[in-house]
Chains A and B, each alone.
Chain A
Amino acid sequence: MSKILYIVGSILLLHAGYSSFEFHQLLKTTHHSSTDSGLPSDIIIEVLVGIVVLVAGSLSSIEIPNFLSVDNEVIHPDHKYLKPIEMSKATAEFEKLKINPFAELETRIEFIDIVNKRKEYAKWSGQEVEEK
């Protein structure tokens, strides 16, 4: 959708620019000054419409992207553009992701028992556990 708006907006602005060029060429050949009459209103309106369409296109391109959960499941956000204002609903995304913003208070990597964790992995993978 946003791409279509970008294209339409750009075409409108280019067309308005070319129309303005042609208008000034016409004034030159008829020896009129552009300050006498100014740009025709249809060109001004075309420029304004083109800008509005471009802005709409850029706003609609701001979408919340999909994300990957810890279990490699692609999660599509429930809301396309903005998160819900209500916190209880906004946090639903973290539960789908299986990582919440307060997870580090629970995981506490600085206190990891690295030796035991390595033993657990070695046991699982069938490696020899070297006692030090």
Chain B
Amino acid sequence: MTLLKTKLLKIAKSGVFQDFTPQQLSETREEILSLGTDGLTTVEVYTLLELQFYISLLTNHDVEAKACLDRLVDQFDTEKSQRIKLLQSLYLEAVAGDEKKATDILCRDPDEMNLSRRLTSFSRKRANGSESFINNLIFYLDLNPSDLKSWGELGSQYSKVGNYEKSVYCYKEILLREPFAYNIFYLVGLEYYHWFLQADLNNNNKDKKDKVLEAVELLSQARNHFLRSIEISESYKKGWEGVYAVSNVKEFNDRIGGKWGQVKEVKKFLADGDKLRELSKSKIESI
């Protein structure tokens, strides 16, 4: 029971349930219901109640979600708690489908920055959703530049529209404050890799030296960030997979190796790639 409680509390704190499959959501809901409240501290009870609210909302158990919300509203001051207001807004948006009421709750006080952050996401539903959402996030980050989650969201949105250069910039903003966030190092590497693929695809004159060197530089940056992620956490599988992907771009390596193989940067890049390919492959197999 303690093991299950610890697991659910970690899920609640990290928010990983957002990426759960429907099957996992369903199982997690059953686990919460089976846990009960015996032996839990007050903080644990309300943390799990908030998790239950999210899970029941995501699994379309609207009555259960309302019951959880009512218990939270009864316990806490709804006028002061941004967290409760966020839950109320989510409930209205999801169940009642009332976007106006949902945004009204978020707009009451302009100083409530966490609610303003949620407010930016409503622009996703407009016709030019991504562009509008990005502009809103930029406006919000001008007001609150230390909000790491918003930098992360902005990076993700830039990535969706194919603006990988800006996506890299956003994720690096997070790394300035969280220099050991190895999952973010992985994302930076991934964006560099996407940037390389985009640049290589758009590069019609594939034999031009400066274009080749630019592509090599992008791949090197991607590789360095993947390597940094596994330097911090050596069992981080995604990081090793990233290293393997950038050291195993055969078509590109063959192309540049033939004509530009004697250029110093290219030579070093190919030599490093050969070493890392086998190492990363064996690590992925062992993990």
Q: Which residues of A contact B (CB under 8 A)?
A: 65-70, 72, 74, 87-89, 91-92, 94-100, 102-115, 117-118, 120-122, 124-125, 127, 132
Contacts and interface: CB of A to CB of B under 8 A. Distances in A.
B4 A92 contact: no
B233 A92 contact: yes
Interface class of chain A by DSSP: helix
A58 B14 CA distance: 32
Interface of B: 2-4, 6-7, 10-11, 13-16, 18-19, 21-26, 54, 57-60, 86, 90, 93-94, 96-97, 114, 117-118, 121, 124, 148-149, 152-153, 174, 178, 180-184, 187, 230-237
A66 B4 CA distance: 11
A110 B152 CA distance: 12
Contacts of B118: 110-111
Given A91-B232, A103-B15, A121 B59 contact: yes
Contact of A111 (B19, B54, B121, B233): B121
B7 A67 contact: yes
Contact of B3 (A68, A106, A125): A68
Contact of A115 (B16, B93, B178, B187): B93
B149 A95 contact: no
Contacts of A122: 60
A124 B27 CA distance: 14
Give the interface centre of B4, B6, B182 by most chain A CB atoms within 10 Å.
B182
A88 B232 contact: yes
A100 B182 contact: yes
Give the interface centre of A87, A95, A111, A115 by most chain B CB atoms within 10 Å.
A111
B11 A99 contact: yes
A118 B158 CA distance: 25
8 contacts: A66-B3, A88-B233, A98-B16, A100-B183, A111-B117, A111-B153, A115-B97, A125-B59
B15 A120 contact: no
Contacts of A113: 121, 124
A97 B3 CA distance: 12
B236 A95 contact: yes
B149 A105 contact: yes
Nearest to A74: B3
B234 A105 contact: no
A88 B15 contact: no
Given A99-B10, A118-B57, A107 B15 contact: yes
A99 B14 CA distance: 7
Contact of A107 (B18, B174, B233): B18
Contact of A102 (B6, B54, B57, B184): B184
Given A68-B6, A99-B11, A105-B152, A114 B231 contact: no
Contacts of A112: 18, 90
Contacts of B96: 132
A100 to B, nearest CB: 6
Nearest to A90: B233
A105 B183 contact: yes
